């Protein structure tokens, strides 16, 4: 008998999307699931590990979990306890560190007291205390002092950072992207206001190990799905044998079809890790560099993880650039614009021929998802598939 028939489901990718759906199908539906993961480790881009200096680092850049979904939080909490951590970010603006998102505390640090007080009142009167105002909306105001503060924030927080991150000006990218970091009419310095936030107490990797630890799940690392899967006139072949079970794919959708219509564009990041012989490198988990430097931000992991170690600390600098599709690169950020979404839809049309084939996650759906949103989507897909 052919081995491949032993599996009811193939899951491609072992990040948040693949791991949650695999666990759900294995546990709730009793399905035999095979996960194919191209990398040599689990956890996708949340993968964390101790570096050679003994510091727990996030290998693909900082990941801070936050969600308003009780379902998602409770679900992940089955596999981890949490370190209670609220992320704070400051922007280095010509040497002065201002809270990001720019808020009323930032305003009072940037302006002399009477002017800051006046602008604060105007912001509250116009938008309401506690509101979150996308910078591009704030720039629509006509009051001269609101125009001035909007210009200040636009120039000092968004313009150069966005140029580095996306290679484009803020108004040239999807407005939802800069709206992720709105001007916050509040004194709350936290980067996120979600009900639940934290970092897995031990590590993301152990959270994923717990999630994947199920007798119905088999994991194949260093396994390139695109070399083992073939999609041909409505039929799916796995290792050259017809496969009629369910397939959940969380990899890049264009690569499934050898990028036949062209590559979907992404931004990637080069990470430069540095270990310094000091207890702390910077005052907060992340310092953004919105007016200078070639990197966008520096994150110091001990702030996030709570690891106690006085002798040294590891930081990471993020250098964004265009993704070329080279095997050594990771596609991190989909560039969502009308042209790219049209290209994505062409690939989706090809997938529609295969009823048991589902796409899930940042790459397969070409969406700028946070971790919790992917987990929520995976749970919803499980509901639909399991019924």
Residues that bind ligand UDP (CB under 6 A): 91, 100, 157-158, 161-162, 165, 177-178, 180-181, 288, 290
Name the minimum Å distance from CB 190 to ligand UDP: 13
Between 165 and 216, CB nearer to ligand UDP: 165
Nearer to ligand UDP, 217 or 374 (CB): 374
Neighbours of 158 (CB within 10 A): 22
Q: Which is nearer to ligand UDP, 91 or 252 (CB)?
A: 91
Burial (CB count <10 Å: 0-12, 13-18, 19+), residue 237: middle
| Closest CB 75 distance from ligand UDP, rounded Å | 22
Return the number of the residue (31 or 317) whose C-beta is nearest ligand UDP. 317
What's the closest the beta carbon of residue 290 comes to ligand UDP, in angstroms? Answer: 5
Q: Kindly report the number of other CB atoms within 10 A of residue 105's CB atom.
A: 16
Q: Closest residue (Cβ) to ligand UDP?
A: 161
Residue 68 tokens, joined: 């308003």
Backbone angles phi, psi at 211, to 5 degrees: -65, -35
> Residue 161 or 266: which CB sits closer to ligand UDP?
161
Nearest CA-CA partner of 20 in 196, 200, 207, 223: 207
Q: Of the two residues 203 and 288, which places its CB atom closer to ligand UDP in the complex?
A: 288
Q: Which is nearer to ligand UDP, 358 or 362 (CB)?
A: 362
Question: In angstroms, rounded to a whole number, what is the distance separating the alpha carbons of residues 206 and 81?
Answer: 11
| Smallest separation, CB 264 to ligand UDP (Å) | 18
Nearest CB to ligand UDP, comparing residues 63 and 358: 63
Closest to ligand UDP by CB, 256 vs 269, is 269
Place of tokens 């309401």: 128
Give the shortest CB-362-to-ligand UDP separation in angstroms. Answer: 10
85 and 242 in contact (C-beta within 8 Å)? no
Minimum CB distance to ligand UDP, residue 267 (Å): 9
How far is 229 from 232, CA to CA, in rounded Å? Answer: 10
For residues 375 and 53, what is the distance between their CA atoms, to the nearest angstrom?
32
Question: What DSSP line would sit under 4-37, residue for residue?
Answer: GGG-SEEEE--SHHHHHHHHHHHHTS---EEEE-
Mind giving me the DSSP string for 61-91? S---EEES-HHHHHHHTTT--EE----BEEE
Between CA 257 and CA 344 the distance in angstroms is 12
Q: State the minimum distance, in angstroms, from the CB of residue 309 to ligand UDP.
A: 25
CB 380 → ligand UDP: shortest distance, Å?
A: 22
Q: In angstroms, what CA-CA distances link 114 with 117, 123, 126?
A: 5, 14, 18
Shortest distance in whole angstroms from residue 231 CB to ligand UDP: 31
């Amino acid at each position: 008998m052919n081995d491949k028939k032993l599996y009811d489901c193939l899951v491609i990718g072992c990040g948040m999307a693949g791991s949650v759906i695999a666990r759900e199908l294995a546990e709730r539906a009793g399905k035999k699931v095979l996960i194919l993961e191209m990398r040599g480790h689990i956890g996708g881009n949340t993968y964390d590990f101790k570096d050679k200096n003994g510091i727990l680092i996030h290998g693909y850049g900082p990941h801070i979990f936050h969600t308003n979904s009780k379902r998602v939080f409770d679900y992940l909490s089955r596999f981890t306890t949490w370190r209670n951590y609220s992320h704070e970010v400051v922007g280095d603006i010509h040497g002065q560190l201002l809270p990001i998102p720019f808020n009323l505390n930032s305003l009072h640090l940037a302006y002399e007291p009477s002017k800051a007080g006046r602008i604060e009142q105007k912001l509250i009167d116009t938008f309401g205390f506690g509101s979150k105002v996308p910078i591009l909306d704030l720039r629509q105001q006509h009051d001269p002092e609101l125009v001035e503060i909007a210009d200040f924030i636009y120039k000092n927080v968004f313009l150069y950072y966005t140029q580095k991150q996306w290679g484009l000006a803020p108004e040239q990218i999807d407005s939802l992207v800069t709206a992720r970091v709105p001007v916050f009419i509040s004194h709350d310095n936290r980067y996120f206001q979600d009900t639940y936030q934290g970092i897995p107490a031990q590590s993301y990797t152990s959270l994923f190990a717990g999630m994947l630890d199920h007798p119905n799940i088999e994991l194949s690392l260093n396994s390139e799905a695109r070399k083992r899967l073939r999609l041909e006139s409505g039929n799916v072949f796995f290792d050259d044998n017809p496969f009629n079970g369910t397939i959940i794919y969380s990899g890049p959708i264009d690569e499934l079809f050898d990028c036949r219509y062209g590559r979907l564009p992404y931004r990637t990041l080069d990470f430069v890790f540095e270990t310094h012989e000091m207890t702390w490198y910077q005052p907060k988990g992340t310092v953004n560099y919105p007016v200078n430097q070639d990197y966008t931000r520096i994150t110091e992991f001990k702030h996030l993880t709570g690891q106690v170690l006085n002798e040294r600390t590891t930081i990471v600098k993020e250098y964004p650039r265009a993704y070329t599709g080279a095997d050594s690169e990771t596609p991190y950020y989909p560039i969502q614009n009308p042209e790219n979404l049209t290209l994505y839809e062409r690939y989706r049309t090809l997938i529609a021929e295969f009823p048991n084939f589902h796409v899930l996650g940042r790459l397969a759906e070409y969406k700028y998802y946070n971790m919790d949103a992917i987990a929520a989507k995976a749970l919803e897909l499980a509901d639909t598939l399991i019924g």
